[in-house]
Amino acid sequence: MHAILFHAFGYAVRSDSSMIFLAALFGLVVGPWWARALEGIPPRVTFKVHLLLGLAALAGGRLHYAINYPFLAAGRLPWQGIHAGGAIIGMIVAAPAIFAYYRLHPGRMADAIMPATGIGIAIARMGCFLNGCCFGVQCAYPWCLSFPPGSPAGVFEAEHKLVDYTAWSLPVHPLQLYFVATGLAITAVALWLIPRKRYHGQVALVGLLLFASGAYLLEPFRQDAGFRLYVGDVPQLQIVAWWLVETAVGGLVVCEMGHRLLARRAQARALAS
């Protein structure tokens, strides 16, 4: 719950930025090892793919954030304002070209990087928790948390005369930790499903569905700090999450139908021979 982790060489090292870099480092170091162990893909290739996809995620997440909050994005470094939905869209858009360049099976490669992607999401969301941003609405459940004075939650509630500026915030949903749990669930399901998958790409699509459905269900718990973007009465971030849900479900349906069609054709050829 500290926005500044420490000061070094006259610079403040922020928790949110540090966790984003740690998430990227995890993908670059552990991701290639996981891809080789799970799918037999050479680590050197996976390292390059992770690096390029990480840049695409940064660009997509930053663009999404800038569209929503242009007045905030103008004064921040690229990695200090990122939306997860835009980051995922950036990866989806860039992935086909990256996989084609390295002559990789898109479904197989996407499956191989999914476990590391889930951990990366969890690490980045821990940065949100330490920074205090992306906090939830007030709640009274045992797991609800108070944030210290000067945190985004504390300042928001003080501005609305709910607490004093020197007091801790009222208990709120630890939305950041809910997102951390979503990332860990993506990794756990991916590791379980990879040896059991029916076709290449199934793991990636299930992971996308978990991420998108989690974001869609959790967005209503986010506290509106006064500058949240809506489309009608629905938060724009929730609409983007629903689009990703539809993309994942549509992809699973199409791939399942294609897999069954190919299986029937293979069975027919085997009987004919």
Percent of the chain with pLDDT over 90: 71
Q: Per-residue pLDDT averaged across 106-117, rounded?
A: 96
| Mean pLDDT, range 216-226, rounded to an integer | 91
pLDDT at 12 over 80: no
Q: How confident is the model at residue 270 (pLDDT cuts 50, 70, 90)?
A: confident
What CA–CA distances, in Å, run from 128 to 63, 81, 133, 195? 18, 11, 5, 33
Res 5 pLDDT > 60 = no
Residue in 105, 269, 267, 101 with CA at minimum distance from that of residue 199:
105
Least confident of 42-56, 129-143, 224-238: 224-238
The CA distance from 20 to 18, in Å, is 5
| pLDDT value of position 4 | 58
Contact 31, 25 (CB under 8 A): no
**Residue 172, SS3 per DSSP:** strand
Residue 222 has φ and ψ, to the nearest 5°, of -75, 135
Residue 178 in this model has a pLDDT that exceeds 60: yes
Domain locations in the chain as residue ranges? 4-134+174-272, 138-172
Contact 171, 150 (CB under 8 A): no
More confident residue, 7 or 41: 41
For residues 86-102, average pLDDT: 94
* pTM of the predicted structure, to 2 decimals: 0.91
In degrees and rounded to multiples of 5, residue 218 shows phi and psi of: -90, -25
Per-residue pLDDT at 105: 94
d(CA 113, CA 122): 15
Q: Which residue has the higher pLDDT, 114 or 264?
A: 114
Q: What percent of the chain has pLDDT over 70?
A: 94
